[in-house]
Every structure is written in structure tokens, then in C-alpha cells.
């Protein structure tokens, strides 16, 4: 059987690896660039792996499976792809997302430590926290090395015989079955089945999902501190909505990368037309969105970032994975909408994708992904316009509403 995997980012490369283990399968992976390139949704040197689920505790089985497949990937490759330093989840007492996180830890048995404001201040003096601040220390949380993960997984897949086509954007997916035809600058090839996992480009490559999945451009800012050693010992952290933000210290512990939530991302209906370089007023406006973090939460940071970069991600209206057959051709599986949390579960999702394309079912029943309520509505799929996302709200601590 010949199977194509279109897009070799966080998800596609994991599916490629899983498929490469199957006897009798000839698997071909196509990427517009190459596995581990920095320009899509997997760039920026770090991703959080947290064991708690802040929005929907019933999502836990996917995180649990991911932890197992991550271990297998690291064992098989001999590479350390996650630094298991723990992750701090912050909020205020009574915060609904923190309550979900605690419930998810209860279900999974993930080890946690509860930290009140005094314990937080003692342990992590970099944070300026309000009186009602509470923290959950996710003991087995980790920082993922995303580019290295993609490169390493592609290497394992290639060693198993997978064919990797770099710098080969797929320009057309022919849906007239049986099977599927894939067109690149080298011509059109026929495959029995295909997985499409093009991240933020998926709604452009598969317009049939445009009413369910939108693309966004995300900005990461890297800050040093004013005082030289101020960030030493700072943990990777995630702050629950409504003051959603996250930060990951650089490996040398001298700087931190910060990010915001969905409502602050740049709207687009077509990721291939996105302006990626920020300058002038656009840069100034983007930096302003982060001011509250420096002013109200991490006061020791330098005023301006020393590095700015943009990435692309796809979001479903529920904020949970879209893993479904193409509505016009069952031989094509569309995997998109990883909604800002896809890296931590990518190895499990790749496994599920491979099982679905091989047999139509997966060992882990993912029916629960369809049960979640919408966090936003798509108003104009051509422009990518949506309503406000009610789940991933980012606002300054002193802002009302």
C-alpha cells in the first residue's frame, strides 16, 4: 500500500514515523520545506509539555498516551527531546481552569504540588503575584525541543524506509477516488491513501474544512532581565485564562520567551499570504500586547524584547483536534486544528493518525474530541474572522471584563 503524508511538522512527521514501521507500506512524506524547519508551527526552540488539562479534563487519555509515546520516541532515538524540569501552572484561587487542571491530575494521577502565594514567592521570586495567586507545580511537566523532535523523528522514519520529499510543496490533492493523487512541482503521483497535516496551511490545502478550522499567526517575544541573574531558577510557566500567557526560559536561564492566547493572534484566511516579518508600527503594537506581563507579573524583564518571531497555527472552533476523513474522500485523513497545544500530544496523535489511515479505527477512541462545546464561531472563513474566543482569554490583571 502507498501512503502519502502531506506536511512534516509536529503531527505529520509523527504519523510518518508510525507508518514507516508497518510491513508492506510504502510511505512518502512531503514538506514545503523540511522536517525541523523554523517557519511553520514548530519553530522557536521550545514547547511546553504539561500534564494538566485546563479546559476539558476528559481530554486526559490523549495526554497520558502522549507521555507513553514520547518515552518510546526518546528511547528509540536515544535523543533527549524533553527537559523534564517541571512546569508551573498559575492562576487565582477559584479559577475555573485551575479547577479543571486539578481534576485532570486527579484522573491521571499526575504528581502535582499545590503552592500558595507565600510558597510561590519563596520559590519563584521572579513573579509579582496578587494576594489570591495560587500555583500548581506539574512535577513531570517538561520543555520540549520541537525542531529537534521533528528532525529526530524524520531520521527514525527514514531509517525504516520512509521517503522524505523536502522542499516539495503539494499544490493539489486530487480527490477523485479510489485513492488520491498528489501534485507537486515534480508531477502528479497516485497513492492509495493520504494524511494531510499542513498546520495553519491546512484550511488552504483542504478548503472543505474552512468552516471548522482557522489559521492564526502567533508572535513569540524573547526578553532578557534588567539585572543579570534575575531569571536564574525561573520555571517554565503557563498562566490560566482570563490572564492567559505562558513563558519558557531559554536553556541558559538568562532569558524567557513569552506568548499570548488566541484572541491576540493575527487573523488570516490564508496562511500562505501572511506577513511574517514585524516592523515599525506593527512591531510596536505587537510588543504593546505583552506590556501587562512585564508591568504586572514579571517586573524584572527588560522593556523591549531582543528577539521577535512569528509562527503559524491552526485552530478548531472547539480548540480540540480535527482528526477526520476528508468529507469528499475517505482515503484522505485530515489532521489539523491543534489549537496551540498540539506539540505535547503530537506523538500520540501521529500514532492515532497512522492507525486510522491503516484500519479506519484507533486503539484510543477519540470520539470525546467531538463532544466539546465551541469556544468561538467562524464569521467569515475566507478572511478567517471569528468571534472572541471564550476559553483562551488574555487580559491584563488589572483589566476588568
Ligand X SMILES: Cc1cc2nc3c(=O)[nH]c(=O)nc-3n(C[C@H](O)[C@H](O)[C@H](O)COP(=O)(O)OP(=O)(O)OC[C@H]3O[C@@H](n4cnc5c(N)ncnc54)[C@H](O)[C@@H]3O)c2cc1C
Q: Whose Cβ is closer to ligand X: residue 31's or residue 351's?
A: 31
Q: Whose Cβ is closer to ligand X: residue 179's or residue 342's?
A: 342
Task: Return the closest-CA partner of residue 173 out of 334, 337, 15, 323.
Answer: 334
Q: Whose Cβ is closer to ligand X: residue 8's or residue 241's?
A: 8
What are the b/e assignments for 134-164, b being 16+ CB within 10 Å?
bbbbbeebbbbbbbbbbbbbbbbbbebebeb
Q: In this structure, are residues 378 and 214 in contact, taking their beta carbons and an 8 Å threshold?
A: yes
**Least Cβ distance, residue 292 to ligand X (angstroms):** 19
Task: Return the closest-CA partner of residue 41 out of 195, 199, 147.
Answer: 199
**Least Cβ distance, residue 278 to ligand X (angstroms):** 14
Task: Return the closest-CA partner of residue 389 out of 221, 239, 267.
Answer: 267
**Least Cβ distance, residue 132 to ligand X (angstroms):** 26
**Least Cβ distance, residue 396 to ligand X (angstroms):** 20
Task: Count Cβ atoms within 10 A of the Cβ of residue 382 and give its class: 0-12 exposed, 13-18 middle, 19 or more buried.
Answer: exposed
**Least Cβ distance, residue 246 to ligand X (angstroms):** 6
Q: What is the DSSP letter of 85?
A: -
Task: Count Cβ atoms within 10 A of the Cβ of residue 114 and give its class: 0-12 exposed, 13-18 middle, 19 or more buried.
Answer: exposed
Q: Whose Cβ is closer to ligand X: residue 29's or residue 57's?
A: 29
Q: Whose Cβ is closer to ligand X: residue 299's or residue 325's?
A: 325
Residues 6+ apart with CB under 8 A from 135: 88, 89, 90, 91, 114, 115, 119, 120, 124
In 210-364, alpha helices (H): 280-288, 291-296, 342-359
**Least Cβ distance, residue 339 to ligand X (angstroms):** 7
Q: Whose Cβ is closer to ligand X: residue 5's or residue 231's?
A: 5
Q: Whose Cβ is closer to ligand X: residue 205's or residue 348's?
A: 205
Count of Cβ atoms closer than 10 Å to residue 262 Cβ: 25
Pairing of strands 193-196, 2-6: parallel
Q: Whose Cβ is closer to ligand X: residue 12's or residue 249's?
A: 12
**How long a stretch of residues is the chain?**
401
Which residues of the chain form contacts with ligand X (CB under 6 A)? 6-12, 30-33, 40-42, 44, 47-48, 169-170, 197-199, 201, 205, 218, 220, 259, 311-313, 336, 338, 340-344
Task: Return the closest-CA partner of residue 198 out of 363, 337, 68, 346.
Answer: 337
- Which residue has the CB atom at the shortest distance from ligand X? 9
Q: Whose Cβ is closer to ligand X: residue 55's or residue 170's?
A: 170
**Least Cβ distance, residue 289 to ligand X (angstroms):** 14
* Measured distance CA(285)–CA(290) in Å, rounded: 9
Q: In this structure, are residues 316 and 337 in contact, taking their beta carbons and an 8 Å threshold?
A: yes
Q: How far is CA 253 from the centre of its chain?
A: 23
Would you tell me the crossing angle of helices 60-77 and 342-359 to the nearest 10 degrees?
90
Count of Cβ atoms closer than 10 Å to residue 21 Cβ: 15
**Least Cβ distance, residue 340 to ligand X (angstroms):** 5
**Least Cβ distance, residue 194 to ligand X (angstroms):** 11
Q: Whose Cβ is closer to ligand X: residue 11's or residue 214's?
A: 11
**Least Cβ distance, residue 231 to ligand X (angstroms):** 18
Amino acid at each position: 500500500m502507498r501512503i502519502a503524508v502531506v506536511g512534516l511538522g509536529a503531527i505529520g512527521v509523527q504519523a510518518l514515523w508510525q507508518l514507516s514501521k508497518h510491513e508492506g507500506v510504502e510511505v512518502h512524506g512531503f514538506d514545503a520545506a523540511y522536517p525541523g524547519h523554523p517557519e511553520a508551527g514548530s519553530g522557536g526552540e521550545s514547547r511546553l509539555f504539561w500534564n494538566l488539562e485546563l479546559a476539558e479534563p476528559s481530554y486526559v487519555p490523549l495526554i497520558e498516551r502522549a507521555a507513553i509515546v514520547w518515552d518510546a520516541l526518546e528511547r528509540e532515538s536515544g535523543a533527549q527531546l524533553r527537559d523534564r524540569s517541571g512546569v508551573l501552572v498559575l492562576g487565582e484561587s477559584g479559577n475555573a481552569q485551575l479547577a479543571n487542571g486539578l481534576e485532570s491530575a486527579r484522573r491521571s494521577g499526575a504528581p502535582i504540588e499545590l503552592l500558595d502565594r507565600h510558597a510561590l514567592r519563596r520559590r519563584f521570586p521572579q513573579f509579582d503575584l496578587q494576594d489570591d495567586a495560587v500555583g500548581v507545580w506539574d512535577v513531570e511537566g517538561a520543555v520540549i525541543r520541537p525542531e529537534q523532535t521533528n528532525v529526530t523523528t524524520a531520521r527514525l522514519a527514514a531509517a525504516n524506509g520512509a521517503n522524505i520529499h523536502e522542499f516539495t510543496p503539494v499544490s493539489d490533492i486530487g480527490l477523485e477516488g479510489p485513492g488520491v493523487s498528489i501534485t507537486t512541482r515534480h508531477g502528479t503521483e497516485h497513492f492509495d491513501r493520504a494524511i494531510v497535516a499542513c498546520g495553519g496551511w491546512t484550511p488552504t490545502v483542504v478548503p472543505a474544512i474552512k468552516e471548522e478550522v482557522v489559521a492564526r499567526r502567533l508572535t513569540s517575544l524573547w526578553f532578557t532581565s534588567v539585572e543579570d541573574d534575575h531569571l536564574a531558577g525561573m520555571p517554565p510557566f503557563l498562566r490560566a485564562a482570563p490572564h492567559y500567557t505562558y513563558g519558557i526560559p531559554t536553556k541558559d536561564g538568562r532569558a524567557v520567551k513569552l506568548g499570548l492566547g488566541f484572541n491576540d493572534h493575527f487573523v488570516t484566511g490564508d496562511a500562505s499570504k501572511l506577513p511574517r516579518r514585524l516592523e515599525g508600527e506593527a512591531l510596536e503594537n505587537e510588543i504593546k500586547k505583552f506590556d501587562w506581563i512585564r508591568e504586572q507579573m514579571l517586573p524584572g524583564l527588560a522593556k523591549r524584547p531582543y528577539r521577535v518571531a512569528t509562527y503559524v497555527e491552526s485552530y478548531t472552533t472547539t480548540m480540540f483536534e480535527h482528526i477526520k476523513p476528508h468529507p469528499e474522500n475517505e482515503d484522505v485523513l485530515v489532521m489539523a486544528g491543534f489549537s496551540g497545544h498540539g506539540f505535547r500530544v503530537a506523538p500520540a496523535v501521529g500514532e492515532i493518525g497512522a492507525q486510522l489511515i491503516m484500519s479506519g479505527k484507533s486503539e484510543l477512541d477519540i470520539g470525546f474530541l467531538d463532544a466539546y462545546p465551541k469556544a468561538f464561531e467562524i464569521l467569515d472563513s475566507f478572511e478567517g474572522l471569528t468571534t472572541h474566543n471564550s476559553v483562551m482569554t488574555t487580559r491584563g490583571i488589572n483589566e476588568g471584563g
